[in-house]
Chain A
Amino acid sequence: MPTEILVRTQGIVKRYGRTQAINGIEVEIPKGIVVGLVGPNGSGKSTFLKLLAGVLRPDAGTVTINGLPVGIKTKARVSYQPEIDCLYDWMTVQQVLDFTATLVPDWRPKRADEMIAFLNLDRGVKVRHLSKGMRARLKLVVTLSRDADLFLLDEPLSGIDPPSRLRIIKTLISGYEAGRHTIILSTHEVAETEGIFERIIFLDKGQIKVDADAQELRSQHGRSIQGLFEEVYQ
């Protein structure tokens, strides 16, 4: 069975002023896998995801999704969760859901309800009164309730309490439809997520340092991705 390529980048470059955030990344990601995008702060993870999401345009090179250059058509099939908190403070949890449902073409209310229940979110509470962990949970509901092809999650676990992290990982697994959904998740907390990754891309200074099958990496080096991460970036 030929693997269908979902994401293809060719020689992408992105600069912020004089800072080179992405420096010539070539990558092909097939449909239906979970990819861990790993690297220290400033390695280009967020910029890379933004280029795929179409939030930023590359200064050079091309990004295609499903063979289409990133644009309105691809955005309709991509669910992107930025690292920053993008929820309106004054809305209640229910208002966030209703609002998002009007913005995206592929909202799945049933899936949202399941996740709200599993993640113990209270629909009546205002966003400003949610703890950081609860806000992170709500962000996840907003991202994963779409019927998209590609889910881009930028540091969904960063700075969040362990119980919320655990719930978030379980939610990712429970909703994941193997072969249909592709997830690219950036993190520098590898230990908790490494079991869900099938492929690992290590970024460093805007370039790919390692790009390999997660199991092959472990078998080759006899250690966890977390261990390798510490070794590669020490």
Chain B
Amino acid sequence: MAIEYKKSLAVFDDFVGVEDAEALLEWFQKNPKGKVNFTTCTHIHASNLQVLMAVKPPVVAWSKDEDLQLWLEPLLR
């Protein structure tokens, strides 16, 4: 499982594939105040990126992958 959902936190791990976007969107619909954690995430498929950009959830922790953080930070901050 590339995204682990905990109460109001979605933890992104490793590589998050295209199919995960559907569940992610549903989760945000149920948890409008859901937060995200990217610490161990290395890549998210574009499908997830557009969900995140539409929702703009609070980010608890940025990715340790510097390049990913460079991309995500200006978009989700």
User: Is this pair of chains taken from one and the same complex?
Assistant: no
Residues on A facing B (Cβ under 8 Å): none
**B interface, CB within 8 angstroms of A:** none
